[in-house]
Amino acid sequence: MKVLVTGNLGYIGTVLTEILVKQNYKVVGLDIGYFKDCFIGEVDSNFFQVFKDIRDIEGKDLHGIDSIIHLCGLSNDPLGEFNKDITREINLKATINLAKIAKKQGVKRFIYASSQSMYGVSQVSEELDEHRSKKNPVTEYAKTKWEAELEINKLNSEDFCVVSFRPSTVFGASPRLRCDIVFNNFVACAYTTGKIEIKSDGSPCRPAIHIQDVCAAFISGLKAPVKIISGQAFNVGIKDGNYTVRKLAEVAQKLVPGSKLTFTNEHGNDSRTYKVSFKRILNDLKDYYKPEWDLKKGGEELIAFFKKNNFDEKLFRGEVTNRLPLLKNILHKKIDKNFRIIK
């Protein structure tokens, strides 16, 4: 099977591409290259790479492609708010256009990396279900993810299978590491500074998923029978995969002996809290999605990655591992006001 991975030079895409190659898929990567130089350690390049803006995709780019895993996009709430118009262009309009071209070109499966951010703020006691739970997207990123799901699902048919995966907040090691996501941030902070400072009371809930497990979910979209996944959406997580911020911080602190954890409570009880149900993916895709990572195992992997690559506070706080500062720095230097590469 020949698989196109969009956004393959990002945090998740780098790991996913390596796994697909090891599993003997024929892989084509397509990426604009914003973060291509943001790597620590070694990067596997045993696949065909295309550098192209997803907004410029053409039918010829999809020639011979059997399936698409669509990761490409401005990838979280802060990035999405940075330029709302560009977020809509990339995350929504380009996604819909890609799906339409893919269907026309005979691509069989379109696997969409969606987001749990579409649920917005919710009651802690309620585990959010894919279909029954209300969607309350607040940020531009969340809105575009939800709207894109709705539009590409309209293209779902017998010969064009659309499936959406909504990952929990991802953590874990990657050659293109991100430290601007919660658990990675806590572990890196403890490792490089010896302390973790939480500005809330630690009570908000956050679902979390290891990067290897979220890649396994996307790959299940390649392997599972069409009748199971066609037109469906799946929250991606593990059993008991909802954690308080306090729990995430405590696990990170224990992984670094001697590090300190403090709660300043200056932000009080953060209202951005939610719990997500993972029953659908754990039941319906149990033969194809078998998560293997928990916080402790993933945290230990991160520590080993840090030691191997001489990770320090400069890397932790710098542009290599934090996406928004990098984009701000290259704006008007390497990319123009429309986020297009300056040639």
Inside any domain, residue 343 = no
- Report the range of poorest mean pLDDT among 6-10, 91-95, 197-201: 197-201
Inside any domain, residue 341 = no
Q: d(Cα 136, Cα 242) in Å, to the nearest integer?
A: 19
Residue range(s) defining the domain that contains residue 269: 2-330
The residue written with tokens 């279900």 in the block is: 129
Q: What is the pLDDT of residue 80?
A: 64
30 vs 200: which has the higher pLDDT:
30
Q: What is the pLDDT of residue 26?
A: 97
> Do residues 187 and 304 make contact, with C-beta atoms less than 8 angstroms apart?
no
Q: What is the pLDDT of residue 82?
A: 77
Write down the H helix ranges in the chain: 11-22, 77-82, 84-87, 94-104, 140-153, 182-193, 211-223, 226-229, 245-255, 279-284, 295-308, 313-317, 323-330
Model confidence band, residue 268 (pLDDT cutoffs 50, 70, 90): low
Inside any domain, residue 338 = no
Q: What is the pLDDT of residue 269?
A: 56
Q: What integer is the mean pLDDT of 131-138? A: 90
Q: What integer is the mean pLDDT of 231-239? A: 98
Inside any domain, residue 19 = yes
109 pLDDT more than 70: yes
| CATH number, residue 307 | 3.40.50.720
Average pLDDT, the chain: 94
Q: What is the b/e burial string over 87-118, where b = at least 16 CB atoms within 10 angstroms of the residue's CB?
A: bbbbbbbbbbebbebbbebebbbbbbbbbbbb
201 pLDDT more than 90: no
41 vs 9: which has the higher pLDDT:
9
Model confidence band, residue 264 (pLDDT cutoffs 50, 70, 90): confident
Residue 189 phi/psi, 5-degree rounding, is -65, -45
Residues 30-89 have pLDDT tens digits of 999 999 999 998 887 889 999 999 999 999 999 999 999 999 998 876 776 778 999 999
- Report the range of poorest mean pLDDT among 103-117, 124-138, 306-320, 326-340: 124-138
How many domains are contained in the chain? 1
Q: What integer is the mean pLDDT of 245-261? A: 97
Contacts of 320 (CB under 8 A, 6+ apart): 38, 39, 40, 177, 326
270 pLDDT more than 60: no
Inside any domain, residue 339 = no
Question: How does strand 127-128 pair with strand 275-276?
Answer: parallel
Inside any domain, residue 336 = no
Q: What integer is the mean pLDDT of 224-241? A: 98
Inside any domain, residue 337 = no
Inside any domain, residue 43 = yes
